[in-house]
C-alpha cells in the first residue's frame, strides 16, 4: 500500500495526475484495499475475501427491510416487487449487503434443493460497539428479546423471529467459542 501511495504522490508532483485525481485514487485504494488484497497471490484455489451479501427470505420483504433499516440504519436500494437490497454503507464503500427477499416459506422447497444445514444466526459487527448502550438503544427502538451473548455481544430477534447477533471487533475468531 505504501509503495502505491508513494507512486501516486510522485505522479502528482510531476504533473502526471491532478490533485483531484490523486485524492480520488487514494480514497478508492484506501477503502478497497482489503477486498482487493486478500486474494492477490495467484494460487490454484480461491480465497474468500468478504461476505458479498446475505440472502434473507421471508413472507414480507418490506417488513424485514424496514426492521433492518430501523435497527442498523441501512438504506434500501433497487426495490422490486419481491426484493430489495440493504447495503452496509454508501455507493463506492463496502460492496456487500443484506438482500431481503419476499418468497413464502412454503414455496422454498420447490425451487431450491433441500439443505440439511442452516444458518441459524448472523452476527454483524457494529462500529464503536458498547454493549450496554446498544442494549438500551435497541430496547428504545422496540426491538424484541434483546439479551447478552457473552461479554462481547448482544442477541435479539428480528421482525420474523430470526436470531440476530451484534458485536464489536472484540468478538472475533480468536475470542468466540
Partner 1 sequence: MERFIAGLVKDFESGKVDRREFCQTVALAAVVYGAGDAANAAPERGLKVIGINHISYTCPDYAKARDFYTSVLGMVSTPGKDNGKRANLMFGPEPGKGGSFIVARTAGTEAKPPSKAVVDHIAYTIANWDEARVRGALKAKGLEVTGRDGSLHVRDPFNYDVQISSAAQENAFRR
Residues 30-49 contacting partner 1, CB under 8 A: 30-31, 33-40, 43-49
Is the distance from CB of 85 to CB of 95 less than 8 angstroms? no
Binding mask 77-96 for partner 1 (x = CB under 8 A): xx------xxxxx-x--xxx
Binding mask 108-137 for partner 1 (x = CB under 8 A): x---xxxxxxxxxxxxxxxxx-----x--x
167 touches partner 1 by CB under 8 A: yes
148 touches partner 1 by CB under 8 A: no
Q: Based on CB atoms, which residue is closest to partner 1, 119 or 151?
A: 119
Q: Based on CB atoms, which residue is closest to partner 1, 62 or 160?
A: 160
Residues 52-81 contacting partner 1, CB under 8 A: 52-59, 64, 69-74, 77-78
Is the distance from CB of 101 to CB of 133 less than 8 angstroms? no
Q: Identify the CA nearest to 31 among candidates 86, 91, 94, 96.
A: 94
Q: How far is the CB of 95 from partner 1 (least distance, A)?
A: 4
In this structure, the strands spanning 97-102 and 83-87 are: antiparallel
Is the distance from CB of 55 to CB of 101 less than 8 angstroms? yes
Q: Identify the CA nearest to 99 among candidates 80, 88, 85.
A: 85
Record the cell numbers describing residue 162, joined without a space. Answer: 430470526
161 touches partner 1 by CB under 8 A: yes
Amino acid at each position: 500500500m505504501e509503495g502505491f501511495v508513494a507512486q501516486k504522490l510522485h505522479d502528482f508532483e510531476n504533473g502526471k495526475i491532478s490533485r483531484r485525481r490523486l485524492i480520488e485514487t487514494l480514497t478508492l485504494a484506501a477503502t478497497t484495499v482489503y477486498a482487493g488484497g486478500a486474494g492477490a497471490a495467484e494460487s490454484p484455489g480461491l480465497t474468500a475475501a468478504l461476505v458479498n451479501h446475505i440472502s434473507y427470505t421471508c413472507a414480507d420483504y418490506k417488513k424485514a427491510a424496514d426492521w433492518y433499516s430501523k435497527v442498523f440504519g441501512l438504506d434500501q436500494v433497487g426495490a422490486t416487487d419481491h426484493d430489495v437490497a440493504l447495503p452496509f454503507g454508501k455507493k463506492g464503500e463496502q460492496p456487500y449487503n443484506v438482500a431481503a427477499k419476499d418468497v413464502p416459506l412454503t414455496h422454498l422447497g420447490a425451487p431450491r434443493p433441500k439443505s440439511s444445514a442452516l444458518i441459524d444466526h448472523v452476527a454483524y459487527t457494529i462500529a464503536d460497539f458498547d454493549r450496554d448502550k446498544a442494549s438500551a438503544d435497541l430496547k428504545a427502538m422496540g426491538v424484541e428479546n434483546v439479551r447478552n451473548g457473552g461479554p462481547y455481544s448482544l442477541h435479539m430477534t428480528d421482525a420474523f423471529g430470526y436470531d440476530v447477533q451484534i458485536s464489536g471487533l472484540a468478538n472475533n475468531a480468536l475470542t468466540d467459542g
